[in-house]
């Protein structure tokens, strides 16, 4: 050891010798007084509860169009949280624009261009490039995952204003004219809903005229199932929650993020009180004093409509909390949803215990999606026989199909359960778009697989597609034609899952990334892709990783040689 090394050791062992003692300073990140004043003013008299962290991050984002490190530190200090807790939550969600120290400010206006499958098929990628080249100063143009407007693809969001059938011209016109605010569509408001017999079923239930058991029996007899994708029997779920010791809570899953799916948005933007009545009925049945309604951030009109209409409800009943997502597809998974409502990263929980046992804030929790609750009134008032009178091919009930892609008339189609794709296109969508021939279709959104045109006669319902390696999920149907490359479609979906993976488990985090890389090769290594897909299905924590490979394995199975796009007829 040299003499210099000896002096270094002694200085370390005896800090008062050989060097000057460092000036004492407070440990941790220092809070900027200006930022602290701004956060205090922004939060005002709102409670400083941990579960409101994401709501307060939205307040900062909405006011300043970004979230600075100084604001994060000030928010952490104001809420008595560590900076790490606030930072990890803020950086988890795509809609929070975090500006680190030393980085330039983000442009005041952000334009998001959807790059998910239907928008990509209809020119979204070129639209993104053109807008990035032509947008002026003060405008940032970025890609976005599915925004739930597949029926009007390609879609872009200017601030909080969605531009349907987006072009460079109409998007830049909205940006330059300051048309950046939410546009509310016409809908059935409280007075109109009540005039049409609304809330009478709820009143009968609350008064005791309609026994709770009778209502549950009506749901059981109709076999109403969860319509968010899993298809769990609704009546059985309500009974399971009711069977747990109280207190109990209720959470509504309005984080409809599956590419191709937009039915929940349609129902909220047209007849919101039908959903609210079903929700209040569910809360009464399971005796939940509080309900948390979680709506994805891409649905600002739905949130505004709900906020307006909830304020019109008469007093009494449970306390309703309207919560806002922040751009994370994983929060559509029920346990991730609960984590997000609690103000945390949306990481799926390990099961068991299940949410009906240990859910929101550790309490038994009823979780239903928007459409399931929307149907409760009709099913109970009209009866199980009415519900079962609909259906084809020995299936029963109705399905809300979100149809997009190469059809003349895309949109939400209320059709009999068990209808085939060919019947759905011909009877409800006006046929294929001019010049296009059916080549393939997604029967159940991004994770539901891809089937060839030769299999357009399979009844579309729960339990009919599984033997083909597919499922109906949320009934999102995307129609592909000879103008589309099925391998490119599968790659688009895999990139979506790669981007939306929460990163908690290795099979999903690394598997989606590796699959996307392998799928970009001119020749697919099918054996390796099959092994990778199996590992993701077997070992991923939640449904995202377990189902992410379905489009990939479908293409390998049903399109061994792929098919390359051909020019559609003029």
Rounded CA-CA distance 300/311 in Å is: 17
pLDDT tens, 517-547?
A: 999 999 999 999 999 999 999 999 999 999 9
How many CB atoms within 10 Å of residue 112? 23
- In this prediction, residue 567 carries a pLDDT of 53
Nearest to 264 by CA among 296, 292, 234, 231: 296
Pairing of strands 398-405, 476-481: parallel
Q: Are 121 and 153 in contact (CB under 8 A)?
A: yes
CB 295 within 8 A of CB 306: yes
Cα angle 225-227-231, degrees, rounded to a multiple of 5: 50
3-state helix, strand, coil in the chain (%, to 5): 45, 15, 40
pLDDT at position 455, please? Answer: 97
Q: Give me the phi and psi of 414, to 5 degrees please.
A: -85, 110
**Stated length of the chain:** 570
Cα dihedral 10, 12, 16, 17 in deg (nearest 10): 30
* Model pLDDT, residue 13: 39
Low-confidence ranges of the chain (pLDDT < 70): 1-28, 562-570
pLDDT for 564: 58
Tell me the sheet residues that pair with 157: 112, 162
**pLDDT tens-place string over residues 346-399:** 999 999 999 999 999 999 999 999 999 999 999 999 999 999 999 999 999 999
CB 474 within 8 A of CB 444: yes
Instruction: Output the pLDDT for position 101.
Output: 87
Contacts of 274 (CB under 8 A, 6+ apart): 188, 193, 198, 267, 374, 377, 378
Q: For residues 223 and 315, what is the distance between their CA atoms, to the nearest angstrom?
A: 32
What Cα–Cα distance (Å) separates residue 43 from each residue in 57, 59, 86, 116, 565? 10, 8, 15, 36, 53
Backbone angles phi, psi at 182, to 5 degrees: -70, 135
Q: For residue 228, what pLDDT is reported?
A: 87
Alpha carbon distance 527, 546 (integer Å): 18
């Amino acid at each position: 050891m040299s003499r210099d090394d000896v002096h270094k050791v002694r200085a370390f062992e005896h800090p008062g010798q050989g060097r000057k003692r460092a000036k004492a300073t407070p440990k941790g990140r220092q809070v900027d007084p200006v930022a602290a004043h701004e956060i205090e003013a922004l939060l005002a008299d709102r409670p400083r509860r941990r579960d409101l962290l994401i709501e307060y991050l939205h307040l900062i984002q909405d006011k300043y169009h970004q979230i600075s490190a100084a604001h994060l530190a000030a928010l952490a200090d104001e809420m008595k949280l560590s900076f790490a807790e606030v930072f990890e939550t803020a950086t988890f969600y795509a809609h929070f624009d975090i500006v680190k120290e030393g980085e330039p400010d983000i442009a005041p206006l952000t334009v998001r261009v959807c790059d998910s499958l239907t928008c990509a098929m209809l020119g979204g990628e070129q639209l993104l490039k053109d807008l990035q080249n032509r947008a002026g100063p003060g405008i940032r143009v970025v890609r976005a995952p599915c925004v739930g407007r597949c029926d009007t693809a390609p879609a872009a969001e200017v601030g909080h204003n969605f531009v349907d059938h987006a072009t460079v011209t109409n998007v830049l016109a909205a940006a330059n004219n300051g048309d950046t605010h939410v546009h509310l569509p016409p809908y059935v408001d409280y007075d109109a809903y009540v005039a049409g017999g609304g809330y009478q079923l709820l009143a009968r239930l609350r008064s005791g005229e309609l026994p709770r058991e009778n209502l549950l029996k009506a749901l059981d007899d109709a076999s109403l199932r969860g319509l968010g994708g899993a298809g769990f029997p609704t009546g059985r779920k309500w009974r399971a929650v009711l069977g747990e010791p109280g207190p109990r809570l209720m959470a509504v899953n309005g984080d409809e993020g599956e590419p191709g799916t937009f039915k929940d948005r349609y129902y909220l933007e047209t007849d919101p009180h039908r959903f609210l009545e079903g929700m209040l009925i569910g809360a009464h049945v399971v005796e939940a004093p509080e309900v948390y309604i979680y709506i994805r951030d891409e649905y600002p009109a739905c949130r505004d409509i709900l906020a307006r209409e909830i304020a019109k409800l008469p007093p009494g009943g449970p306390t309703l909390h309207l919560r806002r997502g922040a751009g994370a597809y994983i929060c559509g998974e029920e346990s991730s949803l609960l984590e997000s409502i609690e103000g945390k990263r949306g990481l799926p929980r390990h099961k068991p215990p299940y949410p009906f046992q240990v859910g929101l804030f550790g309490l038994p929790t009823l979780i239903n999606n928007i459409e399931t609750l929307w149907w409760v009134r009709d099913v109970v008032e009209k009866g199980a026989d009415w519900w079962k009178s609909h259906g084809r091919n020995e299936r029963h009930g109705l399905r809300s199909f979100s149809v997009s892609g190469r059809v003349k008339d895309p949109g939400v189609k209320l059709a009999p359960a068990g209808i085939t794709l060919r019947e759905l296109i011909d009877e409800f969508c006006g046929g294929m778009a001019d010049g296009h021939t059916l080549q393939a279709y997604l029967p159940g959104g991004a994770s539901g697989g891809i089937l060839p045109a030769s299999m357009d006669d399979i009844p579309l319902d729960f339990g009919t597609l599984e033997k083909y390696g597919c499922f109906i999920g949320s009934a999102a149907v995307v129609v592909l034609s000879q103008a589309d490359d099925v391998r490119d479609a599968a790659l688009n979906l895999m990139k979506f899952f790669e981007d939306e993976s929460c990163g908690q488990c290795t099979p999903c985090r690394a598997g989606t990334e590796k699959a996307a890389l392998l799928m970009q090769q001119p020749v697919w290594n099918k054996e390796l892709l099959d092994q990778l897909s199996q590992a993701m299905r077997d070992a991923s924590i939640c449904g995202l990783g377990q189902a992410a490979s379905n489009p990939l394995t479908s293409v390998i199975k049903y399109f061994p040689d792929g098919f390359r796009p051909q020019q559609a007829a003029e």
